[in-house]
Amino acid sequence: MRVVEDIEKLNEPFKNAVVTIGNFDGVHKGHQALFARVREKAREIGGTSVAVTFEPHPVSVLRPDLPPLPRITVYERKVELISSAGMDALVCLAFTPGLAKLDAKTFLEDILIKRIGMKAIVVGGDYAFGRNREGDVDFLKRHAGDAGFEVLCEKWVVVPGMENRRISSTVIREKVMEGDVETAAELLGRPYQVCGTVVPGRGRGAKILGFPTANMELKNELCPGIGVYAVSVEYGSNIYKGVANIGFSPTFEDHQFTVEVHILDFEGDLGGRFIRVNFIKRLRDEKRFETIEELKAGIANDVAIARKIVFI
């Protein structure tokens, strides 16, 4: 997949570009359905399937007074997933105050048509772009004939069992924060994943408990709700089973929030290394054990369960 991160360096338009636009946080099943329709239309007209996204997230520019919105997928992961979805190209536009003020007509003519070469656009029913969200579906249809492009409006993919609610980044964010990683995986089409660098811990995992842990440093990435999870861990080209604890280690009463992962059947030092953790199932609440021996028994039970339910 070709990735264009500076629109000014796009020297010529794509051939018969079929475009879809969005933040694509999570690259969930709803996004995947849009990509599939884009690819289908591109094949029909001998064109190029193009996803257009933005960095940073528009909310951080439009509402700088709010805390940064934790990402379901950081930018690098989003690029990987869009590539895996079979798109020919990704155009990432720098979302600046200037772009936020750009009216829909100028965005359509100067960026989508002139720069990217759009011949068709695939959107959901309530999609809108441009200043004050002027560029809705009706706007696109009014300009399609004269500008020479086609508008394809797709139905939203609904949440199973909730026919009045579509799959969205908002719904997935809610599920992850609740710890309902199984539903999140169903909506994403894959397990929810966090990634980060392994940082020094408090030296208790191996020495005191007999279960060495990798302590992860997450950067602006959505963290699942407090609890204990069965996970799989990707390190380099290898995948391992594991157990993750998210929370404050109440047995030790030090009130320090951590994301700790015990990787099964792994030996070695991961300090400073980059790992990915896929959340398979929430096993239990984080709890305070009366003794270290009870905590060790609890972890051993978590490990035994994870061995049975994590498939790699």
pLDDT per residue as tens digits for the range 222-278: 999 999 999 999 999 999 999 999 998 887 777 788 999 999 999 888 999 999 999
How, if at all, do strands 118-124 and 162-166 pair?
unpaired
Cβ-proximal residues to 199 (8 Å cutoff; 6+ apart), any chain: 215, 216, 217, 271, 272
Torsion 174-179-182-188 (CA) sign: positive
State how far the Cα of 193 lies from the Cα of 188, in Å rounded to an integer.
Answer: 10
Give the per-residue pLDDT at 265.
Answer: 94
Give the per-residue pLDDT at 210.
Answer: 67
Give the per-residue pLDDT at 226.
Answer: 97
Give the per-residue pLDDT at 62.
Answer: 84
Q: List active site positions.
A: 260
Ramachandran quadrant class, 292 (left: phi over 0; alpha: psi -120 to 50; beta: rest): alpha
Quickly tell me which residue has 């999870």 as its tokens.
Answer: 229
Number of H helices, E strands in the chain: 9, 14
CB 21 within 8 A of CB 121: yes
Q: Which amino acid is at 272?
A: G
Calculate the average pLDDT of the chain: 93
Indicate the angle between helix axes 181-188 and 169-178, nearest 10 degrees.
160
pLDDT in tens, 168-210: 999 999 999 999 999 999 999 999 999 999 998 766 655 566 6
pLDDT band at 304 (very low <50, low <70, confident <90, very high): very high
Sketch out the chain's domains with CATH numbers: 2-156 (3.40.50.620), 182-309 (2.40.30.30)
Give the per-residue pLDDT at 167.
Answer: 95
CB 207 within 8 A of CB 293: no
pLDDT band at 69 (very low <50, low <70, confident <90, very high): confident
pLDDT in tens, 126-177: 888 888 888 999 999 999 999 999 999 999 899 888 777 899 999 999 999 9
